[in-house]
Amino acid sequence: MKKSLVINSDISRVIAQMGHFDKLSIGDAGMPVPATTEKIDLAVTNGVPSFMAVLNNILEELAVQRIFLAEEIKTENPQILKEIQQRLGDTPITFIPHSEMKQELNNCHAFIRTGEMTPYANILLESGVVF
């Protein structure tokens, strides 16, 4: 059995296949996902698993050099924004319109759907390198 903290086989596979500048997205239960983007659906019920629980798990294995958030998170979900900023520390953040974020899902290796039921709880993680 896999020993690290990411034990979901689909998530582990996607992370292992990522290279520098590749993107992975995590989001709330309502985010529309393009048919051409792999969707890893973890949602069980309202709030389970939470966006932050999944993000924290992914960050145990994925080297992240930049994140992208919807501009709207600043006013519509400041609590999640604060939690993201606390968790990711000095990682650069680029804010983009939510409509652009939805389009960027076409350029992601996968979208991980959580049970999060708060607005704009979506993130694009840009992969860094470990050397």
Catalytic residues: 20
Is 41 labelled a binding residue? no
What does the DSSP assignment read for 69-118?
EETTHHHH-HHHHHHHHHHHTT--EEEE-HHHHHHHGGGSSEEEE----S
Which H or E element spans position 66? strand 64-70
Is 121 labelled a binding residue? yes
* CA distances, 102 to each of 2, 7, 52 (Å): 32, 27, 20
Is 109 labelled a binding residue? no
Both tokens assigned to 83: 């939690």
Say if residues 49 and 115 touch (Cβ distance below 8 Å): yes
Annotated binding site for substrate: 28, 98, 120-122
